[in-house]
Amino acid sequence: MTRSTTLRLGLAISLTSVAGLAVAGPDGHAKHADHHAASHHTPLSELVPFEQPELWVGSEAPELAIAKFYKGESVHEFEKGHVYVVEFWATWCGPCIRAFPHLSELQEEHAGDVTFIGVNIWESSRRRDEPQAQRIERVGDFVEGQGDKMGYTVVVEQDARMAELWMKPAGKNGIPAAFIVDGRGKVAWMGHPMQMDEPLGKIVKNEHDYAADAKTLQEQSYLSQVYRAFVMGVQSDDEHEAARGYEIGDAMARELASQDAGLLNSLAWTAVDDKRITHRDLDFAYRIANMAGEASEWNDPMILDTVAVAAYKVGEVARAIELEEKAISLADDDGLRESLEKQLEEFKSGG
């Protein structure tokens, strides 16, 4: 197949439970979202118990392990009474780069009260044999090229220490990721830097609700844990482990994602297209894809493409063609439209 998806997890979580939902496609035919409606469902909390990461809201902030300061204020430890934002990024991370101007605006807004520290990590994941000295120089050239877009303290980690001290114990597997350290030296908030405006303002004013934030963080962290368990399960070569993975996916769809079109789409696309899957459950993929279509009101071209691919793989070729043609009509990006058109040709040619 011709496309891949980027998962967007943890941005919004629906805890609405649904069972036996009938999904009507754009052709008017009802598709049952849950083919086990009459059977017992194991709660998601029993399938995947929540495991609180070691680094959490209220934890003492880890130490700083910095190889070089490129620009801004040099910070070697967290001073009491001052707030810090430790934000992780990489030169190859598009969302990180798009967040630079926003971080600069927040630094200007909170000048004197907050120090932003942009920490470069995970560069070795793309250049495994690169010596640290060369990495430091290369990242420095990148930072210089960003100019005023990075209007705050910017550093590179010492070896892989910052990722080991912060990201790993917090259970964070993706960047950009930000941590707010309050005036007591405690981690007060963790999340995507584009979502920290409100909590940062409250933390500066000592008005932050730590308990509420910990609850939200638990929901987001649990979603990531569950999704990881789903992916690892369906990718297993063991038939029973794979079946458990699909059971987790079913429970996610019922309990966490009944109206979350993006998450449903990610579940379906993983099931229908992940090349590492040995025991592929196309019925699961088609059912969840139809749920995504319903949740998106059949107006998202990427989701329509997912449903079309799943329909094609279960033998509903005419519906696959119909859905792909609608997806093409809704695509407003030339690259996406071209990809969808190639997919349509595969459907028509039987490829």
Q: Tens digit of pLDDT for each residue in 251-293?
A: 999 998 778 999 999 999 999 999 999 999 999 999 999 999 9
Query: Cα separation of 345 and 324, whole Å?
Result: 10
Task: List Cα–Cα distances, 337 to 268, 269, 327, in angstroms.
Answer: 21, 18, 8
User: Tens of pLDDT along 44-81?
Assistant: 999 999 988 899 999 999 999 999 999 998 999 999 99
Given a cut of 60, whether residue 13 has pLDDT beyond it is no
CB 234 within 8 A of CB 270: yes
Residue 268 in tokens: 């379906």
Give the residue with greater pLDDT, 39 vs 125: 125
Minimal CA–CA distance to 308: which of 292, 297, 296, 321? 321
Which of 17-40 are b and which e, b meaning 16 or more Cβ less than 10 Å from the residue's Cβ?
A: eeeebebebbeeeebebbeeeeee
137-165: average pLDDT: 96
CB 116 within 8 A of CB 109: no
pLDDT of residue 101: 97
Please tell me the predicted confidence (pLDDT) of residue 213: 82
Go through the domains of the chain in sequence order and give each one's CATH number.
22-47+241-349 (1.25.40), 66-185 (3.40.30.10)
Q: What percent of the chain is predicted at pLDDT more than 90?
A: 76
Q: Which pLDDT value is given to residue 130?
A: 86
Q: Quick one: pLDDT at residue 219?
A: 87
Separation in Å, CA 142 to CA 78, 149, 276 = 27, 12, 35
Query: How many residues are recorded in the chain?
Result: 351
Which tens digits make up the pLDDT trace of 81-101? Answer: 999 999 999 999 999 999 999
Q: What is the dihedral of CA 125, 127, 133, 135, to 10 degrees?
A: -70
Concatenated DSSP letters of 138-188? HHHHHHHHHGGGS-SEEEEESTTHHIIIIITTTT--SSSEEEEE-TTSBEE
pLDDT score at 38: 39
